[in-house]
Chains A and B, each alone.
Chain A
Amino acid sequence: MSAAKEQEETKKLTLVQAVQDALRTEMELDERVLVMGEDVGRDGGVFRATEGLLDQFGPERVMDTPLAESGIVGTALGLAVAGFRPVAEIQFMGFVYPAINQLFAHVARFRNRSRGRYPLPMVVRMPYGGGIHPPEHHSESYESLFLNTPGLKVVVPSTPTDAKGLLIQAIREEDPVIFLEPKRIYRAFREEVPSGAYTIPLGELRVAREGSDVTLIAWGAMSRVVLEASEFLVKDGVSAEVLDLRTLNPLDLDGILESVRKTGRAVVVHEAPRNTGFGAEIATLIHERLPLELEAPVARVTGFDCVFPFPMTEEHYLPTRDRVIAAVRKTLDF
């Protein structure tokens, strides 16, 4: 964490408050930073991630937009080309599809097709993932879509401190960043977060727990589930190392390999569907790079290959502590 050492003051914040704190901190430092999206102004965002920003920075910098995701992302691109640093909010990941044309056909490609003339310093934030029992289309976890689209950086914090440092860094990046916020843990816990500006570099995972028998790899809300499993495993004498990836692209492959070299076993956990989920990519990378060091094949605990279910069965969809523990046992017994 750069600059964090110089911080003396801290504030106890939830993850969503840390997002808001990051936006405010960076908007105070850099006039080019704009916030735009549906309900981000007067309402402060449906999750309150932009609360207070309209009052502090005014409607020129905090824009309630018409209800149109393609419009939001497409105009954010124009603003970025013309010198601003827009932070666009998509209200839920399940509503990003109208903007996919802009994201995939333009945002991801602009630097390359202008041979560096038009880099896009812009962030597209969106809450993602299950666990809050909402109606249809409010629980999606399709990070793979963005990871399979070259040109987009993808960040997923799982703690308030990481959320703030990663978001400020994302805003300062010269490339477009998809910033995925695990809404399930928006308010799950509070943490002392440094008050001023600090950054966490993209592409550095965090070792959330050290261990020696097996490496558990997760991001976002699943980092919490995996941590809980690791605590439970201690009672069985299993020492699990927990890696919270924080950034999915660029991926901290060295960090992953370093851990798996030590443990010889790995379990990847994500709530996205299994088929071509990012777990498949991570497992393949580990197998390719450490074919002789593995004690067992890399295991996956994932969501199912179906539409994210309605609230009455949603808890059966999401990976649970017990499913993670079962996968660890299988890996140990291999």
Chain B
Amino acid sequence: MPKTIIYEAMTEKLEILAPDGTVDEQLLPPLSQEEVLGLYRDMLTLRAFDDKALKLQRQGRMGTWASTLGQEAAQAGLAKNLTRADWLAPTFRESGLMLLFGVPAVNQYAYWKGDEAGSLFPEGVNCLPPSVPIASQLLHAVGIGMALQKKGSDGVAVGFGGDGSTSEGDFHEALNFAGVFGARTLLYVQNNQWAISVPFKRQTAAGSIAQKAHAYGIPGLQVDGNDPFAVYAGTKAALDHIRAGKGAYLVEALTYRMQSHTTADDHTRYRTPEETALWAEREPVRRTRLYLEKKEWWDEQKEAALQEELAAAVEGWVKELEARPAPKPEDMVAFMYQEMPWHLKEQYEFLKAEVKR
């Protein structure tokens, strides 16, 4: 019997706004001037939020921080497509996206400063606390997507991961469950080229993450993650597909982690200045501004006014952070179960008494 082809696959990459600020008019999503300016503003908001956290960390007023510098388009472009009916299962790298989704800055600053109460988000913001164990949260997003599908909800669950996360078994189990159960889930991988010191090519022998979707029977797409239009248009197409009840989707956003992995890391140990310089030219804010200026929608004056406004907003967040009451040591045992069993009651009383002494 002759051999037959049982599968052939093709994976697309979407790029719209080039690093020099030129766009592919054919692919440009129909966004109004106001919406485009909104995206730019969102990206700068993320940058200000991130930059302040890094500064606070250096001053000893913040714990470890995982910077989103360079990943603003990958986060703001997706956030623009999300609604209050949607759910997020983020990692430690999604602080900017969470901010745009409605997780207050002060919650996130408090979390990273080292207060558990920071991850108690306001009612109506369907966002799980950020997950540190790599890839684990992707399965949560699939479970939520399965629930949304069963309930006939309009919402979509978005599970996040980095390039490194795609090596864990949980990543593959998430894609597989999402496919098998037709979960209302977007699996969104920000491929920022590095997992701490390990380059992308050490995570997989495949050329992309997006192409892995084929093996699980769901669609996959790669977008230029430093291009807010490509991220917006690509994730919109994926979300439309999911919202129409057609099942899960994998989107890979190609971006770059411009900072060290976290404030505890030193990226100069394993990256060349040539590489970081190359990506600095491709970063998202710069190209968006070039585009806006070409369109004559933006100028130095508007930029200065926005920067001033953001600086004030950031100062407000820091004030909120520093006005929070210190966490109580005894609370470490208070939230473990619905009711405290005898041994935790004993430990609660011990901690309370010890603090008083």
Contact = CB atoms under 8 A, between A and B. Distances in A.
A41 B197 CA distance: 9
Interface in A268-326: 274-275, 304-307, 309-314, 316-317
B327 A66 contact: no
Interface in A201-258: none
B169 A68 contact: yes
Contacts of A95: 133-134
A44 B336 CA distance: 37
A97 interface: yes
Interface of A: 38-39, 41-44, 46, 64-71, 94-95, 97-98, 133-138, 274-275, 304-307, 309-314, 316-317
Q: Could you say which interface size class chain B belongs to?
A: 35 or more
A135 B132 contact: yes
A314 B347 contact: no
B169 A309 contact: no
Interface in B140-174: 164-165, 167-170
Given A41-B197, A42-B269, A316-B332, 17 more contacts: A38-B198, A43-B196, A43-B270, A67-B164, A67-B167, A67-B198, A71-B167, A274-B343, A304-B351, A306-B347, A309-B116, A310-B111, A311-B114, A312-B115, A313-B329, A313-B332, A317-B332
Nearest to A51: B269
Dominant SS among interface residues on chain A: loop
Given A66-B203, A135-B92, A316 B355 contact: yes
Nearest to B351: A316
A311 B354 contact: no
Contact of B343 (A135, A305, A312): A305
Contacts of A274: 343, 347
Contact of B168 (A41, A68, A135): A68
A71 B328 CA distance: 40
Contacts of B197: 39, 41-43, 64
B290 interface: no
Contacts of A310: 63, 111, 114-116, 327
Nearest to B336: A306
B310 interface: no
B204 interface: yes
B264 interface: yes
Contact of A133 (B63, B165, B351): B63
Given A71-B167, A94-B133, A312-B114, A306 B198 contact: no
A98 B169 contact: yes
Per CB-CB distance, the 10 closest pairs between chain A and chain B, nearest first, are A311-B114, A43-B197, A66-B167, A316-B329, A67-B164, A312-B114, A310-B114, A309-B332, A67-B167, A68-B167
B327 A137 contact: no
B304 interface: no
B195 A67 contact: yes
B17 to A, nearest CB: 30
A2 B164 CA distance: 43
